[in-house]
Amino acid sequence: MPDEGPGHAADWLAAHGHTLTFTKLFEPNAVFPVLGDFDGLLILGGAMSVHDEDYLPWLRDEKAFIREALRVGKITLAICLGAQLVAEALGGEVWPNHAPEIGFWTVRFSAKSLEHPLLRGWPEKATVLHWHLDTFTVPPGAMRVGMSAGTATQGFVWGDGVIGLQFHPEMTVPMVEKLMELEGHEQAEEQEFVQTAEQIRGKLKSVWKGRKLLEALLENLVKLHEEG
């Protein structure tokens, strides 16, 4: 979406000498990059569902591109909607979660997933930003990364170079403020797994916990690519 972005990921990639290009599928005549022209794929979030192909036909093109990128072995980091798209491409299912999950909630990472080379340096748990209505099953052959009280599957790793995360480690403080504005969250009432705008603002320092997770993950992804 126009107001989404790579946030902390862009900062880390630039600081480490990597080039980041964008394909904005919501714009007319968007052109996908040639597979041979990039090393890794970052797939971000959005307010739409993976099932909204009828009124967002570019989703079909994106799904085809993701399947091809996975087929040729591109390292891939997918976040929120991106994780749902990759999960579906790998044979998982996506459907509405039992409840919305919005705000800063704790994710617990399984001991088994923390042994994966992509998650090297991650803690056993972290309080991170969530903003989603849907959820997904762990794709065949993948491993679940973690869970929260509101969502049973908070991510997955598939093979050595593909990871999908339901939560948002990339979002900066200004991005969270913008998201609340766009979603009209100032008037939102507290629910079991939905925090109010005031509660979210009280936890904004937690974006740095997400940033630390993301930086460790990107370092591991790049190291994997260089060793491969």
**How many CB atoms within 10 Å of residue 70?**
18
User: Considering 8, 130, 132, 168, which one is annotated as catalytic?
Assistant: 168
> Which tokens is 128 given?
């991170």
Strands laid side by side in the 75-79 sheet: 40-43, 75-79, 162-165, 155-158, 143-144
Q: Looking at 80, 101, 130, 185, which residue is catalytic?
A: 80
Is 227 in the active site?
Answer: no
- How far apart CA 134 and CA 100 sit, in angstroms, is 8
3-state secondary structure of 144: strand
Active site residue 80: yes
Q: Of 62, 103, 114, 58, give the one whose Cα is nearest residue 84.
A: 62
Active site residue 170: yes
User: Amino acid identity of 28?
Assistant: P
- Of 4, 101, 170, 215, which residue is the catalytic one? 170
- Residue ranges with strand state E in the chain: 40-43, 75-79, 94-109, 125-136, 143-144, 146-148, 155-158, 162-165
Shortest CA distance to 130 belongs to which of 63, 86, 179, 190? 179
Q: Catalogue the active-site residues.
A: 80, 168, 170
